[in-house]
Structures are given as C-alpha cells and as structure tokens.
C-alpha cells in the first residue's frame, strides 16, 4: 500500500465532506462529540499531509515539520483516548454498559496524560520509513501503554449497544491488527489512516438513527 501526502489530503477532504453531511443532520447535543469524529479525522489527516510535505522538502525548509508532527501526535495519542470513550458514553442508554464505559474513560484519561507527558519530555520526530511515516522519540515507554491505548479506543466502540457503532469499532480494531502485523514500524500513522477511512460508517449511523 502506498501512503503519501496525496493520500492523506484525499482522506482529509473526504472526511470533511462526511463531517459536514453529518452536521447537516443536526445531531443532538449528546451526539455532537461522536458526530465530530470525521471532521477531527479530517484535521488530523491534513496535519499528516503537511508532515509528508515537510519531510519531502526537508532541505528547502518551506514547512517546519515540528508543528504538524506535534499536531498529529496530539490527535493520535491525546485526543482519541479521551474523546472516544466519552463520546460513546454520552449516547449509551444501558446503565450497565455506562459503568464499563466510565472505567474505559478513566483508562483513556490516564493513557492520554501519560503519552502527553512523554511527548513533552521527549519531543516526537518523524521520518519516511517503508513508504509511510514513522513517529519516534527517546522516551522509555512502559510496555503496557500500547495495550491500554488500544483498549481505551477500541473497547468503547465495541461495547456500544448500537450495531452501527460496533461495526465502526470492528473496522477500527481490524485496522489496528493489520497495522500491527503489516506496518509495525509505522503503526500509529497507518492505523490512524485506516481509522479515518472507516469513520465514513458514522454517516450511516446518523442517517439511520435520525431517520428512525
């Protein structure tokens, strides 16, 4: 699979259109965090498109990579572990599931805080590696952080009582598995790309719920 600035900007544009289409359906206040996913993915993929351009033009220096790299990392490692469980919790009607989602939200908050601390203490750099972007720093990460990170993001989507949200969760989780085994060294970049592409499912969710 070939990843590039063009691919990132294309997915960004598609997600922006999906996000506008969802907002046009006038989601309820409690649905707004989930409804914002495609638009947020659009911003994240646009940031990675800028990372691509900055790395290709590293000699010219037209784009400083530090800002788009940090923006991408804030989305990937701070925003999603917090926003995903909270947005799912806000639309979950079942009280037993709500208790589980509150626990996952707490895990997400801890993971996001830990990764934010890591990025502040060891700034993240980026390089083109095997046709994608590898983000790296010198921070000594705990071995459990990746597991908790995946649990905080995939767990809420898979626990949600609505089938359409669970389908989105399955696609996000499968994207993680594929990224882990096929693109291990560039996992975070590729998984975010797959998750952004899968977020189109959310349009079907809002189309169905608002029609009902």
- SS3 string of 40-55? HHHHHHHHHHHHHHHH
Q: Kindly report the pTM of this predicted structure.
A: 0.91
Angle, alpha carbons 168-173-175 (nearest 5°): 95
Q: Where are the domains of the chain?
A: 5-211
196 burial level (CB within 10 Å; 0-12, 13-18, 19+): buried
Q: Cβ contacts of residue 117 below 8 Å, gap of 6+?
A: none
pLDDT the model gives residue 1? 43
Instruction: Report the alpha-carbon distance of residue 171 to residue 31 in Å, rounded.
Output: 20
How far, in whole angstroms, is CA 189 from its chain's centroid?
A: 9
**Other beta carbons within 10 Å of 145:** 15
φ, ψ for residue 125, nearest 5 deg: -115, 170
Distances (CA, A) of 85 to 138, 147, 149: 29, 15, 11
The DSSP code for 142 is: -
Residues of the chain with pLDDT under 70: 1-2, 57-63, 210-212
């Amino acid at each position: 699979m070939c990843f590039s600035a063009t691919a990132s900007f294309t997915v960004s544009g598609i997600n922006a259109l999906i996000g506008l289409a969802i907002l046009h359906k006038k989601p309820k206040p409690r649905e707004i965090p989930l409804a914002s996913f495609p638009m947020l993915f659009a911003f994240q993929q646009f940031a990675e498109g800028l990372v691509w351009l900055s790395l290709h033009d590293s000699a010219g220096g037209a784009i400083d990579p530090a800002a788009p790299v940090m923006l991408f990392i804030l989305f990937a490692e701070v925003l999603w572990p917090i926003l995903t469980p909270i947005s799912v919790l806000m639309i979950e009607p079942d009280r037993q599931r709500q208790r589980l989602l509150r626990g996952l939200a707490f895990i997400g908050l801890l993971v996001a805080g830990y990764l934010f601390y890591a990025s502040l203490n060891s700034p993240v750099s980026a390089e083109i590696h095997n046709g994608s972007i590898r983000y790296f720093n010198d921070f000594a990460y705990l071995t459990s952080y990746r597991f908790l990170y995946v649990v905080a993001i995939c767990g809420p989507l898979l626990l949600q009582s609505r089938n359409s949200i669970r389908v989105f969760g399955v696609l996000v989780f499968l994207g993680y598995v594929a990224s882990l085994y096929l693109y291990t060294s560039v996992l975070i970049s590729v998984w975010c790309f797959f998750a952004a592409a899968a977020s189109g499912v959310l349009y079907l969710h809002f189309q169905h719920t608002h029609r009902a």
